[in-house]
């Protein structure tokens, strides 16, 4: 009996797999198909400033077709602010101007800290005492 059930289920599976799906998708007739995409156009801006960790950085960019320009900045560990202003030139590619605001700060240490001297551990045999 189980062989008959298996054959019946196999026949049903083959019959249902042969049918066309109940759905289909076709592009609307009112739209013309074009291989070219529309010109890119966008603007964005974001920034992060966390006083606890000292993180301060951001980015902004705008694009309209082939005209792309923007800037980004980061607060460096030495206290300076690094800014990069850029644009994209069709013939020259990415053109950037890097500037720094402020002076690098290297605070003088109050104590002279000597580098620790590391020695290999002494071998020990037997159980610890």
Provide, rounded to the nearest whole percent, the portion of the chain with pLDDT above 90.
Answer: 36
Average pLDDT over residues 83-102: 91
SS3 (DSSP) at 88: strand
How would residue 69 be classed by pLDDT, with cut points 50, 70 and 90? very high
Confidence tier at 38 by pLDDT (50, 70, 90): confident
Q: How confident is the model at residue 33 (pLDDT cuts 50, 70, 90)?
A: low
Q: How far is CA 15 from CA 5, 9, 21, 76, in A?
A: 15, 10, 13, 69
Q: Calculate ∠ Cα 68-72-77, nearest 5°.
A: 160
Q: Where are the domains of the chain?
A: 38-102
């Amino acid at each position: 009996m189980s062989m008959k059930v298996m054959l019946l289920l196999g026949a049903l599976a083959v019959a249902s797999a042969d049918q066309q799906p109940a759905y289909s998708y076709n592009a609307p007739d009112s739209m013309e198909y074009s291989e070219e995409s529309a010109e890119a156009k966008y603007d964005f801006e974001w920034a992060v400033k966390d006083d606890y960790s000292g993180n301060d950085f951001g980015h902004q960019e705008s694009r309209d077709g082939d005209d792309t320009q923007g800037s980004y900045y980061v607060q460096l560990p030495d206290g300076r602010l690094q800014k990069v202003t850029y644009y994209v030139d069709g013939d020259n590619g990415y053109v950037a101007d890097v500037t720094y605001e402020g002076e690098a700060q290297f605070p003088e240490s109050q104590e002279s800290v000597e580098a620790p001297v590391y020695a290999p551990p002494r071998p020990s045999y037997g159980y610890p005492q």
